[in-house]
Amino acid sequence: MGYGDRGATKIGVEITEILITRDEIDSKVAELGRTLTRDYKGKSLLCVGILKGAFVFLSDLIRKLNLPDMSVDFMAVSSYGAATHTSGVVQIMKDLNQSVTGRHVLIVEDIVDSGLTLKYLLENIRSRQPASVKVCTLVDKPARRKVEIEPDYNGFEIADRFIVGYGLDYNEQFRQLPYIGVLRIKDN
């Protein structure tokens, strides 16, 4: 299929289609940047990237923000491990370095799937007394939602498909792809 296929055959998976192109991603990230710039104008914003998946999206997104009082921090959480479905148990692997008390916080996620990880993150950050906390996700997959939660800012809503690329991975592979593709795990 092109970019990244050599690794796909090695680990028994293949990308069956490009779901969201690089141009579509670029356009959506620019649109989200304009909206966030408008909504956070005059406010001190802390963008919290959720590692590892959101790092590509976050780096592109912050370059589209025209906000002089903005900073970035990261959290790493785990609920998947090497699986394709969430375990439902969320662990903080890396916590924030900055205080969120009294600050406007924007959680930047690669994908909202079951909503369990996001629910945990929202509860955790709200307990730290921020001025506000909202969520911006590149991809929303509401068909798999296990809790009632909706991102405040969303790039793309998709059906229940396993996707990789643009930071999203399968077993730490495919993050480098410039597009979002549908992954099929081959039966051995």
Which of the residues are catalytic? 113
Q: Are 13 and 172 contacting, i.e. CB atoms less than 8 angstroms apart? A: no
Which residue pairs from 5-10 have beta carbons closer than 8 angstroms and sit at least 24 positions apart in sequence? 7/173, 7/174, 8/174
Query: How far from 188 is each of 12, 67, 174, 185, CA to CA, in Å?
Result: 8, 50, 20, 9
Q: Are 51 and 73 contacting, i.e. CB atoms less than 8 angstroms apart? A: no
Q: How far apart are CA 52 and CA 78, in angstroms?
A: 10
